[in-house]
Amino acid sequence: MVLEICAVGGYSEVGKNMTAVRYNNEVIILDMGLFLPKIISYEEEEGSREGLTKDDMIEIGAVPDISVIESWRMHVKAIVTTHCHLDHIGAMPYLASYYDAPIIGTPYTIEVLRRILKDEKIKLKNPLKVMTANSKIKLSENFTLEFINATHSTLQVVMIALHTPEGVVLYCNDYKFDNHPTLGKKPNYDRLKKLGVTGSVKVLIADALYSSKAMKTPSERVAREMLKDVLLGVKNENSAIIVTTFASHIARLQSILDMGTKLGRKVVFLGRSLEKYISAAEALNLISFSKKSEVIGYANRVKRKLKEINKNKKKYLVVCTGNQAEPGSILRKMADSTMPFKFEEGDHVIFSCKTIPAPINMANRAMLEEKLVRKGCRLFKDIHVSGHGAKEDHRDLIELVRPKHIIPSHGSLEQTTPMSELASSMGYVLGQNIHLLRDGQLLELD
């Protein structure tokens, strides 16, 4: 029998992650994500995406083109996802119902997906099934699914070990090796090492986003210290403090809440996406933000709160959406003066994030920063460490699991080629056991 892997999405761009694995007429889909820049462009030009169909979303390039696995449709046994980021689960509301298969993820991932579906008023026929990290279930005659605990920039992230008669497909999309996480446990090195020692891994599919960076990605604890330095080490007694970061980055939000509390300020989280990810974590008792802060999602309540904050800015620390200057985000509206908040000379705006390197994001951020500077704000940018492994993380992963084949993923050739070069330096051969795929390509491994 032949093990087939189809690079459905996420191999020609950063986002839209989706991979399909087939063995003997059984198929497992790994991730099903959005391409966020296309969504942002559409909303900038056309407004709401409400009502867009599967075909509409494929046409605008926002979700993977699943026609490449049309002949596999009736054989799909499960849709499995690594974590809750939209570039991994955001296409499920539009594509998952096309397959008669359950969606499987960790408790937090599934809880976030439920809230996304509710927000978008979409009902899926697919059963939503929860599976915890470091557990294993048999999916079908040829596939057994194992979740291996990993670290990234959100909660309950896993590497997927898909056990087949031909060996393990190890799908590590996304991950970093964080030995000092501020929330959650370290990666399960013991399990990865065991897979390597037993020679089980037929193919490693790995997040190559920062494989060109000659470094090990720092721990989230480093970002916490960076925040501490800016929030507790810079004079800000009479200034507004506005912080923005990724809404799903619960560990980062916890650090901001802790620092705000130390400052003696009331911490207020503003924005729908922040409310969605925080409430999902609270529902699972992973955090308890509501005891020490306010979390406000709806626009009319946000406006009322900002009016109140504007009267006594030094009493509050505001955490809001808008780290990429997205249309409709709170920080963008505040800068555009469409929210009842007036920036003043010396107000602090902290970007605890990196700009996602897509042209529309970079243009939007540049415009937002220019507006804030014109209003007299002090900007603190890149108070952040990545959730993605770099070159030395990838070297360690390859040495741990000793795969027979390597497929770099999560990007175009610009991102995947450096991982290929790393693997070449470790004895692998491009075209023989290193495979640089593009969206829509099929690889057969016998």
Q: Nearest-5° angle of CA 97, CA 49, CA 268?
A: 105
Angle, nearest 10°, between helix axes 189-197 and 391-401? 50
Q: Quick one: pLDDT at residue 49?
A: 73
* pLDDT score of 403 more than 70: yes
* pLDDT score of 330 more than 70: yes
From 37-41, 165-169, 206-210, 390-394, the region with the lowest mean pLDDT? 37-41
Q: Where in the chain is the domain with CATH 3.60.15.10?
A: 3-216+387-445
Higher pLDDT, residue 220 or 59 = 220
* Top-level class of domain 3-216+387-445: alpha beta
CA torsion sign, 284 to 33 to 55 to 27? negative
Higher pLDDT, residue 358 or 300 = 300
Q: Quick one: pLDDT at residue 46?
A: 67
Q: Quick one: pLDDT at residue 47?
A: 66
**Which whole-number Å values give the CA distances from 158 to 31, 81, 134, 294, 306, in the listed order?**
12, 8, 8, 30, 38
* pLDDT score of 326 more than 70: yes
**Which of the four CATH numbers 3.40.50.10710, 3.40.50.720, 2.60.40.10, 3.30.420.40 does domain 220-380 have?**
3.40.50.10710
Q: Quick one: pLDDT at residue 359?
A: 78
Give the model's confidence band at 40: pLDDT under 50 very low, under 70 low, under 90 confident, else very high: confident
Nearest in space to 322 (alpha carbons), one of 383, 370, 365, 263: 365
Q: Quick one: pLDDT at residue 327?
A: 81
Copy the structure tokens of residue 444. 């057969």
Task: Name the percent of the chain lying above pLDDT 70.
Answer: 99
Average pLDDT value for residue range 248-255: 97
Give the model's confidence band at 356: pLDDT under 50 very low, under 70 low, under 90 confident, else very high: confident
Q: Quick one: pLDDT at residue 232?
A: 96
Q: Where in the chain is the domain with CATH 3.40.50.10710?
A: 220-380
β-pair type (3-9, 442-445): antiparallel
Q: Is the pTM of this model over 0.85?
A: yes
Task: Name the percent of the chain lying above pLDDT 90.
Answer: 85
CA torsion sign, 268 to 157 to 171 to 60? negative
Q: What is the radius of gyration, based on Cα positions, of the chain? A: 22
CB 41 within 8 A of CB 93: no
Q: State the chain's mean pLDDT as an integer.
A: 94
Nearest in space to 289 (alpha carbons), one of 299, 276, 303: 276
Average pLDDT value for residue range 91-108: 97
Phi-psi region of 85 (alpha: psi -120 to 50; beta: other; left: phi over 0): beta
From 26-30, 37-41, 168-172, the region with the lowest mean pLDDT? 37-41
**Which whole-number Å values give the CA distances from 397 to 213, 333, 337, in the listed order?**
15, 42, 48
Average pLDDT value for residue range 379-394: 96
